[in-house]
């Protein structure tokens, strides 16, 4: 509030009970101001703690997503490589089956 309560109190003493009410009110308002300031500082501190927590959490999630993407790409490469190998194998098997079938059919003639 910025008011010097001691100086004001000495001037209000001459007003009697009205001065006492004013003094008590000023003391109350001064205490409220201090409490409100302390509360605002605590709220700002907690707010910053939460912001820092969520910043760290967001960074961790981004890092995890990057790692997951790299792993997914590696799995994709492996699956594609395996698929190509299986296709080659299937083609060779089909050729052998066709050759065996022709041999059996030709042998019956």
Residues near 1 by beta carbon (within 8 Å), at least 6 away in sequence: 26, 29, 30, 33
Residue 56's H or E segment, with its range, is helix 17-108
Q: Distance (Å, rounded) from C-alpha 19 to C-alpha 102?
A: 121
pLDDT of 24-79, one tens digit each? Answer: 887 888 889 989 999 999 999 999 999 999 999 999 999 999 999 999 999 999 99
pTM greater than 0.75 = no
- Residue spans of the domains in the chain: they are 5-81
- CA distances in angstroms from 95 to 86, 98, 99, listed in the order given: 14, 5, 6
Q: Distance (Å, rounded) from C-alpha 1 to C-alpha 29?
A: 8
């Amino acid at each position: 509030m910025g008011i010097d309560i001691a100086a004001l109190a000495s001037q209000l003493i001459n007003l009697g009970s009205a001065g006492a009410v004013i003094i008590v009110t000023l003391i109350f308002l001064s205490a409220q101001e201090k409490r409100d300031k302390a509360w605002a500082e605590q709220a700002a501190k907690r707010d910053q703690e939460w912001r820092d927590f969520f910043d760290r959490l967001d960074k961790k999630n981004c890092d995890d997503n990057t790692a997951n993407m790299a792993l997914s790409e590696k799995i994709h490469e492996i699956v594609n490589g395996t698929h190509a190998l299986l296709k080659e194998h299937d083609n060779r098997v089909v050729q052998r089956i066709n050759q065996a079938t022709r041999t059996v059919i030709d042998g019956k003639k």
